[in-house]
């Protein structure tokens, strides 16, 4: 009996020794950049084990390396704190070897980046910031230029400012300039590409499809009435203010 207890204690100590602070290199979500992990496992199953202590320790290390690798590839090396949480939570769950009987175990992990990986992350972040600034400036330039050229007059001014402009073609440019301006007017900045902005565009197109001022008065009156029915009196008042803005003086000769 004493010999059996000593044998079990020896097997338990051997497993523990072989599962304390073993190193693992893990891939991250960025190719070429990896994590340096150090894992300590605790076997919950008491001996005797379905194999030698060394075999059980090797199998547990292999299983934990595989388990850590399953989640590390989704972790951003630039967000080390989140990667530590994700990996720590995953390895802290109870795992088991597919043996008979199964060997159950849990693990703790410390995670860091080696100096070369830290330098690679710093280089990557610098490149991303530079690209982000370039993208923002390009979008701002595009948005500003499209907003300017959506006005036919502004588009015509751009044409007139060119060197060697042929003034004889000016009279025939009206239709082309208007068509081009309409194309630029279709552009929308990124922060205006939403359902709400789309609805505003539809409403604007609908209202402008009724050029007659009497029709406009009717539409704005109906719009204000709908807002008032929806218990939005402030919006109804604004719609009525727009109605007054669209009111025009009757043409000369009409009563």
Given a cut of 50, whether residue 86 has pLDDT beyond it is: yes
- CA pair distance 137, 17, nearest whole angstrom: 57
Query: Percent of the chain at pLDDT above 90?
Result: 50
> What mean pLDDT is predicted for residues 14-33?
95
Given a cut of 60, whether residue 230 has pLDDT beyond it is: yes
Contacts 24+ apart (CB under 8 A), 62-69: 63/95, 63/97, 64/24, 64/39, 64/91, 64/95, 64/105, 64/107, 65/24, 67/91, 67/95, 68/24, 68/26, 68/37, 68/39, 68/109, 69/26, 69/27
Among the residue ranges 9-18, 44-53, 72-81, 221-230, the one predicted with the least confidence is: 221-230
134-165: per-residue pLDDT in tens?
999 998 998 888 888 888 888 777 777 776 66
> What mean pLDDT is predicted for residues 120-136?
94
* DSSP secondary structure letter of residue 167: G
So what's the pLDDT on residue 187? 72
Among the residue ranges 67-76, 170-179, 207-216, the one predicted with the least confidence is: 170-179
So what's the pLDDT on residue 253? 38
- The answer to whether 56 and 43 are in contact (CB under 8 A) is yes
Supply 85's token pair. Answer: 């949480």
Mean pLDDT of the chain: 85
So what's the pLDDT on residue 208? 78
So what's the pLDDT on residue 237? 85
Query: Percent of the chain at pLDDT above 70?
Result: 84
Among the residue ranges 1-15, 198-212, 217-231, the one predicted with the least confidence is: 198-212
Sheet bearing 34-43, strands edge to edge: 22-27, 34-43, 103-112, 95-97
Given a cut of 50, whether residue 173 has pLDDT beyond it is: yes
- CA pair distance 36, 39, nearest whole angstrom: 10
Distances from the Cα of 110 to the Cαs of 22, 30, 185, 203, in angstroms?
Answer: 11, 20, 55, 58
């Amino acid at each position: 009996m004493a010999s059996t207890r000593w044998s079990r204690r020896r097997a338990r100590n051997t497993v523990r020794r072989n599962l304390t602070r073993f190193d693992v290199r893990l891939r991250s979500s960025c190719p070429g950049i990896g994590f340096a992990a150090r894992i300590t496992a605790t076997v919950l199953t008491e001996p005797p084990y379905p194999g030698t202590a060394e075999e059980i320790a090797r199998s547990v290390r292999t299983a934990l390396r595989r388990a850590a690798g399953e989640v590390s590839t989704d972790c951003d090396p630039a967000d080390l704190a989140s990667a530590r949480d994700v990996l720590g939570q995953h390895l802290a769950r109870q795992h088991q070897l597919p043996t008979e009987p199964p060997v159950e175990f849990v693990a703790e992990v410390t995670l860091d980046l080696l100096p070369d990986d830290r330098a690679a992350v710093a280089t990557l972040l610098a490149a991303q910031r530079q690209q982000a600034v370039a993208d923002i400036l390009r979008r701002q330039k595009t948005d500003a230029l499209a907003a300017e050229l959506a006005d036919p007059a502004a588009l015509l001014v751009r044409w007139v400012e060119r060197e060697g402009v042929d003034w004889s073609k000016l009279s025939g440019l009206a239709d082309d300039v208007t068509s081009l301006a309409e194309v630029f007017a279709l552009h929308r900045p990124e922060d205006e590409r939403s359902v709400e902005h789309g609805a505003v565009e539809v409403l604007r197109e609908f209202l402008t499809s009724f050029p007659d001022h009497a029709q406009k008065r009717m539409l704005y009156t109906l719009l204000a009435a709908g807002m008032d029915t929806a218990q939005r009196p402030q919006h109804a008042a604004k719609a009525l203010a727009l109605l007054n803005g669209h009111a025009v003086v009757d043409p000369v000769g009409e009563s």
